[in-house]
Amino acid sequence: MVDSVIPSAVMAACLWQLPGIRTHLVAFDTSVVDLTADVADPVKLLMKVQLGGGTNIASAVEYGRQLIEQPAKSVIILVSDFYEGGSSSLLTHQVKKCVQSGIKVLGLAALDSTATPCYDRDTAQALVNVGAQIAAMTPGELASWLAENLQS
């Protein structure tokens, strides 16, 4: 997932600049860190990303869901290897709550120039089963996906 950190920060900075789109950037390991205040400056942002050890994806999804005011017009992009250090069933439940409320959930097992993922396929499949989309994309492919999926 280290290879996805820089493209994730750059993509968030690009989305931050778009009119009509409210962007949040949240990083996580066993805790959730909201980096939204620094998203306009990718260099400063990257200097703050010092996570390591453990993974609690469910808490990050729950945090993200709570930030959303208009579920039907929202997307959670979850860049993760889906190796959940906490409860996989809680993660599945959190994603299901998002999808049922109208939020589109895109799980990215890789976001880099090669889009070659290494991820927990069982957890990813469980998320697909509750309505998430799982993929590995280059930043350009993510931009195309967003263009297709954010049209009203």
What lies within 8 Å, CB to CB, of 102 at 6+ separation is 71, 72, 74
Is residue 83's pLDDT more than 90? yes
pLDDT tens figures, 122-138: 999 999 999 999 999 99
Is residue 58's pLDDT more than 90? yes
pLDDT tens figures, 13-34: 888 888 888 888 898 888 898 9
The architecture that CATH gives domain 2-149 is 3-Layer(aba) Sandwich (3.40)
Question: Taking the C-alpha atoms of 59, 42, 140 and 3 in order, what is their torsion angle to the nearest 10 degrees?
Answer: -60
**CA 81 to CA 122: how far, in whole Å?**
11
Query: What average pLDDT does range 37-64 have in this prediction?
Result: 82
Output DSSP code: residue 53.
Answer: S
Q: Sketch the domain layout of the chain as residue ranges.
A: 2-149
* pLDDT score at 51: 59
Identify the residue with better confidence: 74 or 6: 74
